[in-house]
Structure 1
Amino acid sequence: MIANAVKSLALKGVTGLLLAGVLNMPLAAGAEVTEVCDLTFTGNIELLDVPVARTWAQQSKGLSYLDDVGPGMLFAYESAGTLSFWMRNTWVPLSIAYLGEDGKVFKMEDMQPDSADYHLSEQPAKYALEVMQGQLERKGIALGSRLENIQCRAKR
């Protein structure tokens, strides 16, 4: 009886490790960002060379595991939906802006490093922009600002 319990526990442990490996495989394989964009907001505010995350693997990794987030990251989705972000394994404080299909910033929020708190868009968003905390305000991006132009190219 004890031998069966030990075998069952061992099997569950091995299954869990294998499953964790399989689930992380696409993240490691396709998480490298291959595209950067120049973003122009109302008032001719520009953010240049912003990496864009379009795939699930890229979006799942986001800005995790980085000491320097550079110009931040644009999360671009094929269609608008309610988005949820968290900061697990993200080591620097970030600000996030949620943008609707029309490019209008409808919600902004500061996020604390390595936190499991969820940050919800609360309404459909087509884009989310993460930057170093306070960078949105320093650049002049506020609620109601509109993303007017996106010029993207392959990352060099």
Structure 2
Amino acid sequence: MPLALYADLISDLRPLIADLGVHPERFQTWDARLELVAAGGLVVLKTKRAKGVVDSLFWGRAPKATENKQLPEATAFAAIDRFLALGAHLALADALPDGVVLDEAFPHCAVKLSYRKKGAPKSLSLSMIFIGFNDETDAMAYADRAGGSLPLTTTRPLKGEKLHEWR
């Protein structure tokens, strides 16, 4: 079965995440948690606005470090933006089976986001785990090496119990 690539969803998600950092006044509410693992390091962007109050925390861990450290907001948003700027993305369709881990050589990012823009009739939410690649060729080679060991998305839109595309 062919794998689902996410160029269209990522092209919508990237400016949306950037807007949260640069123009938060465009949103009525939001709850965003993005966890990026890249090059052995970790970057976590967690921000929420509810009832007019914004609560944000940005932290990370350098490769081979054991302690998390607080990061500047711009650094966290820039790291997420670099990930979203990669040439191709695959997504997991379900939780990883016991004992299976994602290859640290390829950046991956868990995205849990719900938001409502000002004037919008309803909120939207997204919960997915993306794996980033330089291009589609790298993505397909990765999927071939993974065989059936990873639950990669093959149909769109993804509508799982915990992981889902926009709804």
Higher-Rg member (1/2) = 1
* TM-score computed with the length of structure 1 as normaliser: 0.29
* TM-score computed with the length of structure 2 as normaliser: 0.28
